Chain A
Amino acid sequence: MANDPEEKQPSPSPKDDSSPAKPPAAASEPASKPAAAPAPPAAKPPAAAAPPRSPAPPKEGPVALDNDLVKRYKRKFGEAIREAWIDRKQAILVVERERLVEIATYSRDDEKFDWLSDLTAVDWPKRAQRFDVVLNMYSLAKNERLRLKVWAAADERVPSVQGVWATANWQEREVYDMFGVVFEGHPDLKRILLPDEWQGHPLRKDYDILTQDTAWVRENLGIESGQ
């Protein structure tokens, strides 16, 4: 869909697989405001941004990556580097879950990604391995960022990188708290933001706020929720 504005001007969503309700909405807006000279651009910011930039960026979005960095990783770990792509100029490596600690240690020591900015997860419930565990690393020496990802099913354990970067301790606890991903080898894996007796893991996509509210009100107030 990122290419659409490049190829065809008129409608921003001819091949858009999402709901058919959107195109009318996009079309009606420019009509309602007379000042806007170009009628349809409401939903095509990528096209507007494209001209000033140099020739490269026809595609926003993931593009396969095979630069020196990836080659080094592949030479070292072979099949354990499953995928590599670049998205908005940010490099992403998907690696094998079992070898995460080894790869993380290599990243820290040899590739000098010594600073773990962030460790988090994303839930894709329709996928067989529903969780992405995402590590955003930064290299103080090279001034570069690199993102590592591993995939994990709900019952699969992810090796803890707490021993590689001390900062991962709390962040893994947060991922456990919010997603229920269990980290193997974590010294003290327990909830961090929510109370210990909390049921469920709120940032999972199937965790419904309304259901939670209804249940809580019924249990604690003894009435039906008005939500």
Chain B
Amino acid sequence: MADQRIPFATHADATVLGADEIILNMGPQHPSTHGVLRVKLRLDGEKVIGSECVIGYLHRGVEKIAEHRSYTQFAPYVDRMDYVAAVSNGLGYCEAVEKLLGTEAPLRARVIRTILTELQRIASHLFWLGTHALDIGALTPLFYCLREREEILKIFEKYCGARLTTHAFRIGGLQYEAYDEFEKDVERFCTPFDKRVDEYESLLTENRIWVGRTKGIGILSAKDAIDYAASGPVLRASGVKWDIRKAMPYAAYDLYKFEIPTGKNGDTYDRYIVRMEEMRQSRLICLQAIENIPAGPILGKVGKVLKPPPGEVYHAIEAPKGELGYYIVSDGTTQPYRVRIRPPSLINLEAFDKMIRGHLVADVVAIIGTLDIVLGEVDR
């Protein structure tokens, strides 16, 4: 292995291995890499002294596809990036195109979008919690998390017929009116949900093994987090209080009260706490929103053939994993000239090497888990 001259991004002299050093290849087929991530680890005994992520195994050329589809046709493709949070992807894309068109969805549509997106955030975090705990060896939370996630997916299914790749929104608003029992279903899910989060916490927060496996592991300082442009819970756990929902409100977030939880140490434990609190806050947003869903149209006036005036727009939303940005360039035709998707998973993963150094091989799975990556989004 050593004579293959494996280059390491941050090690100029990495091809020379010390007497005690080995290179260990993890993935792409490894259950703890959450998909097809390959990590090359440079080890001294069991200590990681360098790493390189190899990505692209799931690359489908989404950005190239976009240039050959109309604006409307491309919308379902974005659901396939972060397939654990498809609703958020759709929201970002629809709002970016709306911005490009110079239009805005009606208020009722924006409120329903907010509710669905927050439910999606809860679902995404639940899935993260279940799998992350499973990686570290706590089997139980997975079952409880998926039980609650199922409830959310049922709401999505009743709303638009799909559970995962929902394509729930349309450019200009919504395709579907909320079904009759929508508010009731959301309320039925949200009302007892804070108790459920307490339940998950009772399994983990003070669990000695959990604390031992997560406290002080994968520390990312605020300065580094900003340097690596980490976003979402990863940034907030490092103590930077920044959330696009507050900083540059979109959809209907300016109507509701919620807190931005932050951590202090930027370690795996803090990221866990931040995400748990985010689920509670999302629940509060949903409860506030269903109290008063304004009446009105759900689809704004957009033509069937979308022809945005030439120009460009960058629009970012706070997806469950961080800043999901769409940079769309229009040349005045019906197809986008260029669509660039800024995936939060990819950018957060970039900090992996910084976080893993000095830790043990067993911590690799903890850190991959805490970054909450989805390879469909990393590779696009």
Q: Give the interface of A toward B (CB within 8 A).
A: 1-2, 16, 18, 22, 25-26, 29, 41-46, 48-50, 57, 60-62, 87-88, 90, 92, 114-118, 120, 122-123, 134, 136, 140, 143, 145, 147, 165-167, 169-171, 178, 187-188, 191-195, 202-203, 207, 209
Min distance, Cβ A90 to any Cβ of chain B, angstroms: 6
* Residues of chain A contacted by B63 (CB below 8 angstroms): 178, 203
Interface segment among B77-85, B130-138, B158-166, B333-341: the answer is B333-341
Q: Which 10 A-B pairs have the closest CB atoms?
A: A167-B229, A193-B56, A2-B309, A48-B301, A42-B303, A49-B103, A60-B102, A118-B342, A120-B340, A61-B311
Min distance, Cβ B138 to any Cβ of chain A, angstroms: 31
Q: Is the CB of A167 within 8 A of B307?
A: no
Q: Give the interface of B toward A (CB within 8 A).
A: 7, 9-10, 55-56, 59, 61, 63-64, 68, 99-104, 172, 224, 226-229, 240, 242, 247-248, 300-314, 316, 323, 325, 327, 329, 332-333, 337-338, 340, 342, 346-347, 350, 379-380
Please measure, in the bound complex, the distance between the C-alpha atom of A80 and the C-alpha atom of B338, giving whole angstroms.
Answer: 26
Across the two chains, which residue of chain B brings its CB closest to A178? Answer: B63
The listed residue (B103, B226, B379) touching A45 by CB distance below 8 A is B103
Min distance, Cβ B227 to any Cβ of chain A, angstroms: 5
The listed residue (A43, A88, A209) touching B313 by CB distance below 8 A is A88
Across the two chains, which residue of chain A brings its CB closest to B61? Answer: A202
Q: Is the CB of A57 within 8 A of B102?
A: yes
Q: Is the CB of A117 within 8 A of B314?
A: yes
Q: How many A-B residue pairs have CB under 8 A?
A: 147
Across the two chains, which residue of chain B brings its CB closest to A195? Answer: B56
Known contacts A41-B303, A42-B305: does B59 contact A193 (CB below 8 Å)? yes
Known contacts A60-B102, A167-B350, A169-B350: does B303 contact A26 (CB below 8 Å)? yes
Please measure, in the bound complex, the distance between the C-alpha atom of A60 and the C-alpha atom of B323, giving whole angstroms.
Answer: 25
The listed residue (B242, B301, B303, B312) touching A87 by CB distance below 8 A is B312
Q: Is the CB of B226 within 8 A of A140?
A: yes
Main secondary structure of the interface of B (DSSP, over half): loop
Q: Is the CB of B314 within 8 A of A122?
A: no
Known contacts A25-B305, A170-B350: does B103 contact A117 (CB below 8 Å)? no
Q: Is the CB of B64 within 8 A of A209?
A: yes
Q: Is the CB of A42 within 8 A of B9?
A: no
Q: Is the CB of A48 within 8 A of B228?
A: no
Please measure, in the bound complex, the distance between the C-alpha atom of A178 and the C-alpha atom of B340, giving whole angstroms.
Answer: 11
17 contacts between A and B (CB under 8 A): A2-B309, A29-B305, A42-B303, A42-B305, A43-B305, A88-B102, A88-B311, A90-B312, A123-B338, A140-B242, A147-B314, A165-B227, A166-B350, A178-B63, A193-B56, A193-B59, A194-B59
Please measure, in the bound complex, the distance between the C-alpha atom of A104 and the C-alpha atom of B380, giving whole angstroms.
Answer: 28
Known contacts A88-B313, A187-B9: does B229 contact A117 (CB below 8 Å)? yes
Min distance, Cβ B241 to any Cβ of chain A, angstroms: 9
Please measure, in the bound complex, the distance between the C-alpha atom of A187 and the C-alpha atom of B299, giving whole angstroms.
Answer: 49
Please measure, in the bound complex, the distance between the C-alpha atom of A42 and the C-alpha atom of B242, giving whole angstroms.
Answer: 39
The listed residue (A61, A87, A170, A202) touching B64 by CB distance below 8 A is A202
Across the two chains, which residue of chain B brings its CB closest to A173? Answer: B9
* Residues of chain A contacted by B100 (CB below 8 angstroms): 88
The listed residue (A60, A87, A114, A117) touching B325 by CB distance below 8 A is A117
* Residues of chain A contacted by B101 (CB below 8 angstroms): 45-46, 49, 60
Min distance, Cβ A14 to any Cβ of chain B, angstroms: 14
The listed residue (B7, B99, B301, B311) touching A62 by CB distance below 8 A is B311
Min distance, Cβ A168 to any Cβ of chain B, angstroms: 9
Q: A46-B309, A167-B347 are in contact. List 20 more A-B contacts (CB 8 A).
A: A16-B332, A22-B305, A26-B303, A26-B305, A45-B101, A48-B103, A49-B103, A49-B104, A87-B311, A88-B312, A114-B226, A116-B229, A118-B340, A134-B340, A143-B248, A170-B346, A194-B59, A202-B61, A203-B64, A207-B64
